[in-house]
Amino acid sequence: MSENQRKIKVIDSTRIDSFLNPIRKFFQIEASGGIILLIVIVISLIWANSPYYRYYFDLWNINISFGVGNFIFDKSLLDWINDGLMTIFFFLVGLEIKRELIIGELSSFKKAILPFVAALGGMIFPAVIYLMINKDTDAVHGWGIPVATDIAFSLGILSLLQKRVPFSLKVFLTAFAIIDDIGAVLIIAIFYTSKIIYLYLAISLLFFFILILFNLLHIRKPLVYIIPGVLMWIFMYYSGVHPTISGILLALTIPTVARIDYKSFLSSSKKSLNELENYRIKDNRDVTTGELNTSVFRLENSCEKVLAPAHRIEHKLHPYVAYFIIPLFAFANAGVRIEGNFWDALLEPVTIGIILGLFFGKQIGITLFSWFSIRFKISALPNRTSLKQIYGIGCLGGIGFTMSIFIANLAFDNVHILNDAKIGIILGSLVSGITGYITLLLSDKKIKRRKISD
């Protein structure tokens, strides 16, 4: 390669890096998932209300079918997204729940009590408000819609505040949102399940117990869990229980214990690195001798053993869920066509119930139950936080987008009621997010003024 060719190559790589670096940085920040979700929602709403709206709805109604023997799956693209891809989302939620229960903020009573109480209040009040407004309507079955919190969206907005809020607030939001997810999953399993075929449910649970056995036998290869997991999904689908529950159950069986501790990992890694460092490579060429391979494989094996399979899967899966599955779900479900007067839709009981449930129910329930718990010394405020900041987090808890739309799809067969519900979810989540952001921003400024005056 000539000197000029080298220079051109360096210039090209510099230009590529200068183009890609901002993109890399964007995807590294937590808020990027929320920003992408917001963009997708806007695009779907514009498309669904444009002259080309038929293409939007026709796209999601495309039929995709396959099967073996009596097990035939004939579903629309929308159903495959909601029942299939969202199982992967629930699988990730299950991994997060298990992590928090074992080593995280829910691993002890002292750590879990405040977020548990906050989540309880944040589920009760929205449901009660919704039922009060819709008790004599056809939409009464949708009481579970405002109960949910979208953890990705709420954490994305919180991360926009960066260092203006203490890290303990992020931990608190994560913990109560995960408890909220547990509540939402239980609500789906118990109240939004159609007629159950117990034989198929029993077969599905049999595969679940096989997966537990794999865990007890210390089988750590993730691929071994896939086939029983898929079979569990199939039989749960035919049982009448929503198949996404299988994602949670599968996650609970994935091993969370490392095979070696950090001291053993460091010792083994240092030994392998020293061997590699002392190994002489002639003429800077790659050498694949047995001695060199042994050191590299030993290092690779140590890296695999020090990380539990659940943690490795969660780390690898998170970007795909955050940047593909959730945006695709939003794109397919958020496109509400507003026919007639938009203000008429806002006056529907289902819309009002969801907006008030998400906005008032969440913030009142989370703040009131948290205050009660702190006032009677059942729990304590997180480090460097105030009750006003807890109120701000309560407002962010009113962002129920992903889980709320998911429950709405299960609750309503009537397209018009479902559309009104989606309008309520989008507006309730939007107002909650803006209010929460402004509240936390203003509380940070007041703390700074107080420090200056002191």
| Interval 84-135: pLDDT, tens | 999 999 999 899 888 888 877 777 787 789 999 999 999 999 999 999 999 9
Give the total number of structural domains in the chain.
2
Q: Does 169 reside within a domain?
A: yes
- Rounded to an integer, the average pLDDT of 272-281 is 67
Q: Does 19 reside within a domain?
A: no
Instruction: Give yes or no: residues 180 and 282 share one domain.
Output: no
Q: Which domain does 367 fall in, by range?
A: 29-193+242-257+308-447
Instruction: Give yes or no: residues 272 and 410 share one domain.
Output: no
pLDDT above 80 for 282? no
Q: Does 346 reside within a domain?
A: yes
pLDDT above 70 for 30? no
Domain CATH code at residue 107: 1.20.1530.10
Q: Report the pLDDT value the prediction gives residue 240, as an integer from 0 to 100.
A: 87
In this prediction, residue 267 has a pLDDT band, given cuts at 50, 70 and 90, of confident
Written as six digits, the tokens of 423 are 């309008």
Q: Does 218 reside within a domain?
A: no
Distance in Å from the first CA to the final CA of the chain:
66
Instruction: Give yes or no: residues 55 and 86 share one domain.
Output: yes
Instruction: Give yes or no: residues 251 and 300 share one domain.
Output: no
Q: Does 247 reside within a domain?
A: yes
Q: Report the pLDDT value the prediction gives residue 118, as an integer from 0 to 100.
A: 95
Instruction: Give yes or no: residues 363 and 277 share one domain.
Output: no
Look at residues 317, 400, 389 and name the one whose alpha carbon lies nearest to residue 354: 400
Instruction: Give yes or no: residues 361 and 250 share one domain.
Output: yes
Q: Where are the alpha helices (DSSP H) in 103-221?
A: 109-134, 151-160, 167-191, 198-216
Instruction: Give yes or no: residues 299 and 410 share one domain.
Output: no
Parallel, antiparallel, or unpaired: how do β-strands 71-76 and 63-68 relate? antiparallel
Instruction: Give yes or no: residues 34 and 165 share one domain.
Output: yes
Instruction: Give yes or no: residues 267 and 252 share one domain.
Output: no
pTM: 0.80
Q: Does 54 reside within a domain?
A: yes
Phi, psi of 75 (to 5 degrees): -135, 155
DSSP 8-class letter at 82: I
The percentage of the chain sitting over the pLDDT mark of 90, rounded to a whole number, equals 44
Phi, psi of 289 (to 5 degrees): -85, 160
| Sign of CA pseudo-dihedral 31, 33, 34, 35 | positive
- Number of Cβ within 10 Å of residue 301's Cβ equals 14
In this prediction, residue 43 has a pLDDT band, given cuts at 50, 70 and 90, of very high
Q: Does 65 reside within a domain?
A: yes
Instruction: Give yes or no: residues 373 and 428 share one domain.
Output: yes
Q: Report the pLDDT value the prediction gives residue 274, as an integer from 0 to 100.
A: 74
Instruction: Give yes or no: residues 274 and 343 share one domain.
Output: no
Instruction: Give yes or no: residues 105 and 183 share one domain.
Output: yes
pLDDT above 80 for 249? yes
Q: Does 210 reside within a domain?
A: no
CA distance 25 to 9: 24
